[in-house]
Amino acid sequence: MNLARFFAAIVRRELQIAFKRWGDLVSPLMFFVMVASLFPLALSPQHEMLRNLGPAVLWIAALLATLLSLNALFRADIEDGSMEQLVLSPYPLALALFGKTVAHWLLNGLPLVVLAPALAVTYYLPGEGVRALSLTLLIGTPTLSLLGAVGAALTAGVRQSGGLLALLVLPLMLPVLMFGARATDLAASGEQISGPVYLLSALFLLALSLLPLASAAAIRISLD
Amino acid sequence: MVDCSKTCLSAIDLTLWRGPNCLFEELSFQVDAGSLLLVRGTNGSGKTTLLRVLSGLTRPESGHVQWCGESIEKTRQAFTAALAYFGHADGLKADLTVTQNLEFSARLYGRSGEQVSGLLKALNLSQCAQLETRYLSAGQKRRTALARVLMSNATLWLLDEPVTNLDSVGRDYVEDRLREHIAGGGLAIAATHEDIRLASESPDEIFLGDDA
């Protein structure tokens, strides 16, 4: 079997498992929707202030929702022995973990990208801002998933690693948050956003090319 | 030194400590094609750990493992392609059915759906094929995990307690397959505290632990 079919088999299995566990899927999304929709209700309803706060709040909620969903990324596989089988399969471990990360993004990142424009309306973001929010989330959330996968792989062997994982990966996620929120903010005030968007894309490509290998190395250490 | 242009797995001077306990020290042995090695020892004597070292999952403190005369670290891909690891954990997804679990392995090994259902029948799992594996008994889970080894076509089987939790029919089936595998030129290393009977001469054994 070639590598592409192996990759497809991994993604397919992840999706099969996820659809059997709706609850785990929905709770990070619920968190995102609740945080993002409570802010406009709690703040005083001034268009100008909401429009200024919107990009930051939406991006922070998306980042925290991603963090919430990361803990379980490799935990179950290590506990039930599937990870040993993946490590001992003749296919590259990095590809297997990349497959799992892609599935994670499809199930956790993509819904955020889809939901965000609806929530942006409650912040009176203009059309330009909503488009920029979708674009930056589309580039930024896969980067967050890839970064989170390394953290999840490193902490997979540690018991009660929730806080540790956040401490490890949050600093690495900050550039994504800053460029994403800034680009949305700039677009909402009608300015050029190509600068931060290019930087976000560069971060994404860097993460895409290096981090699956880092995750694989981390998993081998965790299993030792 | 070990001469190995032929198919063999050799352990050379393996040493591993876990905390203050030395699990094995300068342990060397060789398993040739067509033979079975039983790893014996009390609970906690390091049988599983030895299998993990042999598979490359755990690194020994010193010494190394060779497959066909080459260190397994260097020939990882060739080695893992020849390896079926039947671990302490079953490696099954609790949320997926028996069939779904095995279909994934079948896809990896390029087996057809018919071969999967044939195996399920042989392992007496047909009636629970559509059950999620969380509802299976320990023995049924073991059988499902065993099906993965049987469809793998691997030369080297590393088996951790292959007959534990199995009923007598299951044990006989495993022993038959093991006999076939070895007769066909395969290698097998099994960690067990139960007897595995092969019709031919009694297999080689190594003992771990203080009472060895």
- List the structure tokens of B209: 């632990």
What is the per-residue burial (b if ≥16 Cβ within 10 Å, else e) of A119-143?
bbeebbbeebbbbbbbbbbbbbbbb
Residue ranges of chain A with per-residue pLDDT less than 50? none
Q: Please, what are the domains in chain B?
A: 1-82+155-212 (3.40.50.300), 90-153 (no CATH)
Domain that holds residue A213: 3-223
A156's tokens: 């997979």
Residue B212: per-residue pLDDT? 43
Q: How far is B198 from chain A (nearest CA, A)?
A: 27
At residue B3, the pLDDT reads 47
pLDDT one digit per residue (tens) for chain B, 212 residues: 444 457 899 999 999 988 888 888 889 999 998 889 999 888 888 899 999 999 999 999 999 999 998 999 899 889 999 999 998 899 999 999 999 999 999 988 888 888 899 989 989 899 999 999 999 999 999 999 999 999 988 999 999 998 888 888 888 899 999 999 999 999 999 998 777 776 566 778 888 876 44
Q: Each residue of A147-196: pLDDT tens digit?
A: 999 999 999 888 777 788 999 999 999 999 999 999 999 999 999 999 99
Q: Give chain A's domain count.
A: 1
Q: Hey, are the CB atoms on B107 and A5 less than 8 Å from each other?
A: yes
Closest CA to B104 of B141, B148, B136: B148
> Coil, strand, or helix at residue A1?
coil
Shortest distance between the Cα of A83 and any Cα of chain B, in A, equals: 8
Instruction: Say what the pLDDT of residue A151 is.
Output: 94
pLDDT of B149: 92
B61 near A CB under 8 A: no
Partners of residue B100 in chain A, C-beta under 8 Å = 13, 16
pLDDT at B2: 46
B112–A contact, CB cutoff 8 A: no
pLDDT attached to residue B14:
92
Would you mind telling me the total number of residues written for chain A in this entry? 224
Where would I find the beta strands (DSSP E) of B41-161? 62-67, 70-71, 83-86, 156-160
d(CA B129, CA B113): 12
pLDDT of residue B88: 87
The ipTM of this complex is 0.89
